[in-house]
Amino acid sequence: MELLEKIAKPRPVGTNQNQEITEYIEAYLKSIGYATSKIPFQCKVWESKDSYLMIDGMKLALQVSPFSEEFHGTGTAIIARNINELQKVECKNQILLLTEELAQEPLQPKNFPFYYPENHKAIIECLEAKKPSAMIAITGGTSMSGIRPFPLIEDGNFHIPVASLDKEIFLEIEGKVLDKEMELSIVSKNEITTAYQLIASRKVANPKGTIVICAHMDSKYNTDGALDNASGVATMLYAAKGIETDRYNIDIVPFNSEEYYDPQGELFYLEEIQKSNKEVSLLVNIDTVAHVGSKVAVASFNLTENEQMEFENTMRSCTNIVNGQPWYAGDHAAFAYSGAKCILLSASDLFEGCLSYTHCPKDTIDLVDATLIENAAEFICKIVNAYN
């Protein structure tokens, strides 16, 4: 499948490969009759090299958090296990280890516009007030990705150097940490560059509104992102070719910052909608679809009773399409929360194994079933072409 092969490569926002794939998607959409525009935005491109913690003669490999600042130095460690300990600890210019309750899940980036829980905000603000020289998060795996140890903080607006150490390794050295001089090396570099949010449109005479088909095109670092979300982009592009409605304008939007700490691509598109007084009649988002051995799970948001009946009838008429549970950690969320009618496509086993391959080197093209991409695209075309 040529579309999938062209896209399933590491493509974090602003990288050369991200730019090349943006241009490829633009050329494809132009070739099938869509007018395109690209909105430039500034972003950080990150790279790191082997980093380590040296303690008591042992050299332990660390996973540097994306967009971390660099650090090289020595010192003694201070451990904080929960927010109460963090609030009381004095760690200015020292190495702070975060574990247990403070390292249970990835923290949302500072002031993330769509979701920033109060407990995450409290931890971030307390860390910034305490001013440690560097931080090591003691983490393991997470149900939301395949990376281990997972990065606790992935945020270019957070300026304390931070890396992660696997908690199973930490258990072996925990008794040696306190009061021992340690050497810490976090090798990390950020550069400012320009990325683009692509919008492709096809207009009709006397439109009743706009239908948006979207899928995020960017990936995390160090992954081909085949499932997450080259599969969704390929589905979106196949669907774009088969849409034939003469009642609605169509926007095809490969969001280019869903995996980034600052969702500028989506914010720019939301701003464009507001400026042009565009009415989004329906939004279809495709994210992590077509996992081998699964089916295509579809969920709806804010549909009327009649629209829901039509949605279910269409679903039953299609191959490998099943009911899915609605979830909100994607580009459809801002629209769904605002009351817009949305449809979400993802893998039926998303939370039962599929996510364990994402955000890491395991997410390769052999995990994607090309037939399911065709099934998903057919379903989208049926929904859009019949939408009244």
Q: What is the pLDDT of residues 231-273, one digit of tens each?
A: 999 999 999 999 999 999 999 999 999 999 999 999 999 999 9
The separation between CA 341 and the C-alpha centre of its own chain, rounded to angstroms, equals 22
Predicted confidence band at 373 (pLDDT cuts at 50, 70, 90)?
Answer: very high
Residue 1 binned pLDDT confidence (cut-offs 50, 70, 90): confident
- AA letter at 342: C
58 has pLDDT over 80? yes
What pLDDT shows up at residue 176?
83
Instruction: Give tens-digit pLDDT for 141-165.
Output: 999 999 999 999 999 999 999 999 9
Sequence-distant (6+) residues with CB within 8 A of 41 are 194, 195, 196, 197, 257, 264, 265, 268
Sign of CA dihedral 364, 366, 372, 373: positive
CATH number for 2-46+193-386 (one of 3.40.630.10, 3.30.390.30, 3.30.300.130, 3.20.20.70): it is 3.40.630.10
Residue 377 — pLDDT band, cuts 50, 70, 90? Answer: very high
The neighbouring-strand residues paired with 47 are 189
Report the side by side order of strands in the sheet with 188-202: 35-48, 188-202, 249-253, 210-214, 280-286, 342-347, 296-301, 321-323
Query: Is 80 exceeded by the pLDDT of residue 344?
Result: yes
- For the chain, the structural domain boundaries read 2-46+193-386, 50-186
**Tokens representing residue 265 in the block:** 């691509």
Please tell me the distance from the alpha carbon of residue 178 to that of residue 64, in angstroms, as a whole number. Answer: 22
pLDDT at 178 over 90: no
Residue 175's pLDDT band (cuts 50, 70, 90): confident
For the entire predicted model, the pTM comes to 0.96
Contact of 251 with 212, CB cutoff 8 Å: yes
Q: Tokens 């683009």 correspond to what residue?
A: 196
265-321 tens-digit pLDDT: 999 999 999 999 999 999 999 999 999 999 999 999 999 999 999 999 999 999 999
Query: Which element (helix H / strand E) includes 75?
Result: strand 71-75
Q: Rounded mean pLDDT of 223-229?
A: 98
Q: Is 241 helix (H, G, I), strand (E, B) or coil?
A: helix
CB-count burial class (<10 Å; 0-12, 13-18, 19+) for 21 = buried
Whether domain 50-186 has CATH 3.40.50.300? no
Give yes or no for a contact between 228 and 329, defined as CB atoms under 8 angstroms apart. Answer: no
Residue 127 DSSP SS3: helix
**Residue pair 212/283 in contact by the 8 Å Cβ criterion:** yes
* Residues 160-173, mean pLDDT to the nearest whole number: 96
| Separation between Cα atoms, residue 353 and residue 277, nearest integer Å | 41
Tell me if 26 sits within 8 A of 252, measured CB to CB. no
Alpha carbon separation from 380 to 149, 293, 295, 323, 349 (Å, rounded): 37, 21, 15, 14, 20
